[in-house]
Amino acid sequence: MYLSLRDRPSSAQPAQHGSEVSPPRRAGRVVVTLGMVSLLTDISSESVAAILPLYLTAVVGLSAVAYGLIDGLYQGVSALVRLASGWFADRTDRPKWVAFAGYGLSAVARVFLLFASGAASISAVVAADRIGKGIRTAPRDSMISSATPTEHLGRAFGVHRMLDTIGAALGPLIAFGILVLIPDGFSVVLAVSLAFAVVGVALLGLLAPDQRAQPRPEDGAAPDPFRWSDLGNPRLRPLLLLAGGLALLTVGDGFVYLALLDRGGFAATWFPMLFVGTNIAYLVLAVPVGRLADRVGRARVLVAGHLVLAAAYVCASVPNSTWVATLGTVALLGAFYAATDGVIAALAGRLVPVRARTSGIAAAQTVVALSRMASSFGFGVLWFALGPSAALLLVAGLLLAAVLVAATQLGRLGLDRVVA
């Protein structure tokens, strides 16, 4: 894995930001270490997520409804936590240890999951896990950003997201592998999940470099402190506007899958495979699309990613859906994530002063997450008013218009100027 990252310099560009560039070896190490931490943590969280509904209904005896309703409530909490942790990581310039606290909280939550048995205690554990995720994401992305020369940033995030997604794909496989070997071995799945979480936290704590946003001055003078006004930075604002606006036209994957199910392109049995398929497409495309973003401009790829999303919606609403349409939808969704998820973090980290990097990333991710929640709600209305196909086609049309507008404005927004 390590070797594949250190491929030949693609465009042989000399480093332009002399002082900012770390030695490539070190950059690779931060990205790969954090990628492995994410891989281990995702195996841990996705193995539990995959069996949780089954565990709650078949073993604990709860109606899944009880869990599902509570689960939704914590989404907003996670967004607030994300901003606070971004601010704290910048304030202290210790992103590694803030991220460590987030990963640690999620690992501790797994210990309690082994003993939790009621709806309330289990949803508390799930909430702790989500808060942990809210804490760790932005500091981790800011470490990747700080450790990587600007011209390789897209690829670095691609590599990280690929490793992350491999973990997400392995988790359910491991969980169900255990259940096949040990009938009803849910406690073994929880124990294995805890083990992966602890190893992930240990890897971060012991072996990840203490990557700071600002190089510490030799004389020990304190670096510039973070200011809230950094977030009002005129360069970050267009990104927040662009990403938030496009995210308002992004409906949850769940809706797209349900629309496919509604069209009858496949048996309900295959429903869970749609999530797996999207993950596979994402992990295959993360690195190539990240590299493409480095070459042609990240904002351009971000906007184009939404064009791919519009195509996915069209594909999902083709009448008499076939396997081809289903596979096409899944592949296009994966491509959309590859073109946006890491790319937003990569862009945001470069548009604010170094001292506000984590907050900038957190702000962009929060805006996107909140906009997507709002849009999913709005899409629900459309679904009931127009039916799944017409609703998806309408959103695809709006998305196409938004992409065209964004594309013509890209030059003026100047988002990609940092790259050149």
Partner 1 sequence: MSTRMRVSVFLVLVSGIATVTAWYALDQYRSVRAARDRDPQVSQMPQAQPISGPRVVFRHTGLDNRYGLVAMVALGDPTGPRSFTDVPCDRVAAGDSGASCLVAHAGVVTRFEAQELGPDWQVERTYPLPGVPSRTRVSPDGTRVATTSFVTGHSYMSVGFSTATEVRETGGGQSWGNLEEFALVLDEKRVEPVDRNVWGVTFRDDRRFYATVSTGGRTWLVEGDLEDRTLTSVGEDGECPSLSPDGTRLAFKVDVEPGDGREWSLAVLDLDTGRRTDLGDGPRGVDDQVAWLDDDTLLYGLPRAGQPGVSDVWSLPVRSGAEPDLFIEEAWSPTVVRPAAPS
The least CB distance from residue 367 to partner 1, in Å, is 12
Q: Which is nearer to partner 1, 356 or 391 (CB)?
A: 391
Applying CB under 8 A, which of residues 31, 44, 46, 293 lies at the interface with partner 1?
Answer: 46
Q: Which of residues 209-238 bind partner 1 (CB under 8 A)?
A: none
Applying CB under 8 A, which of residues 24, 83, 84, 187 lies at the interface with partner 1?
Answer: 187
Q: Which two tokens stand for residue 138?
A: 């932005």
Q: Which is nearer to partner 1, 16 or 117 (CB)?
A: 117
Contact 178, 367 (CB under 8 A): no
CA within 13 Å, CB half, 300: 14
Span of 53-61, 95-103, 140-148, 233-241 interacting with partner 1 by CB under 8 A: 53-61
* Alpha carbon 103 to its chain's center: 15
186-to-60, 180, 194, 388 alpha-carbon distances in Å: 10, 11, 12, 36
What end-to-end distance do the CA atoms of the chain give, in Å? Answer: 29
Q: Measured on CA atoms in the order 333, 338, 344, 345, is the torsion positive or negative?
A: positive
How many residues contact partner 1, by CB under 8 A? Answer: 80
Asked whether position 272 contacts partner 1 by CB under 8 A, the answer is yes
Q: Which is nearer to partner 1, 161 or 212 (CB)?
A: 161
Q: Which of residues 75-104 bind partner 1 (CB under 8 A)?
A: 75
The least CB distance from residue 157 to partner 1, in Å, is 13
Applying CB under 8 A, which of residues 54, 84, 111, 394 lies at the interface with partner 1?
Answer: 54
Span of 59-67, 99-107, 224-232, 321-329 interacting with partner 1 by CB under 8 A: 59-67
Asked whether position 327 contacts partner 1 by CB under 8 A, the answer is no
Residues near 267 by beta carbon (within 8 Å), at least 6 away in sequence: none
67-to-49, 64, 121, 158, 364 alpha-carbon distances in Å: 12, 5, 10, 33, 29
Applying CB under 8 A, which of residues 169, 178, 236, 283 lies at the interface with partner 1?
Answer: 178
Q: Which of residues 243-262 bind partner 1 (CB under 8 A)?
A: 252-254, 257-258, 261
Backbone angles phi, psi at 22, to 5 degrees: -85, 165
